[in-house]
Amino acid sequence: MKFKIFVIFCSLSFVSTAQNANEYRTWTKVSVGLKPAKDHKLVVSGMYRTNSGDGFNRFITAAQLSKKPSKNLKYASELRHYLVFDDRGSNTGIRHRARLRLTIQRRYKTATGEFFMRYGVQHREVITGSGLRRTDFRVRSSYAYNIKNFKWDPQFNVEYIGNAGDVFDKSIRAGVSTDHKLLSGKVDLGYFYEHNPQLLDSDCHTVSVGFKF
């Protein structure tokens, strides 16, 4: 009963914020996981993201290497390459970006699920076209709730993202996701709401769909 009340509360919160939203996004992703060593995992992925606001659609390729020295601790590094499709104004074309992210995650087992804390730092470089290089710090807390006899267990996430060079350039994300085994892989479904507390009309809603091999 408590879980149902929590889900209803989250749904009402998302609907109320959607009335003021000025941006909607869709993220699709396909990834393949490999095990190059016992405690290491390599994930190679391709992502396509659409944007209804001021941002541009983009295609992203990524490679993430992670290591788990213990059951409750994980280190990861990820390298991404962005193709940004600039289709506005007189100077249109494809812009290139690159991003490196380093993270550390701690897992805590609870009676009804698992709680995770992840800390990360990332740096983005502009390869071609206009734009600014930037460095961000990220802190995310997640709770994976286990439901008996249910195959789509939810995970609730809250994340803070802050720019190291601009105290006003920051955002907070809150969302829910789930996954389920399908065929020889796993399908992921998710949603999150993002807001910059320093700006008005900065609401953003993102729906994500992914498949892991």
> Structure pTM?
0.82
Helix (H) or strand (E) holding 12: helix 2-18
Question: Cα(169)–Cα(111) distance, rounded to whole angstroms?
Answer: 37
Note the pLDDT tens digit of each residue in 159-208. Answer: 999 998 876 688 999 999 999 998 889 999 999 999 988 777 778 999 99
How many structural domains is the chain composed of? 1
Determine the structural domain holding residue 149 and report its residue range. Answer: 2-212
Write down the pLDDT at residue 4: 45
CATH of the domain at 208: 2.40.160.40
Whether 154 contacts 131, CB under 8 Å:
no
Note the pLDDT tens digit of each residue in 32-85. Answer: 999 988 889 999 999 999 988 666 899 999 999 999 999 999 999 999 999 999
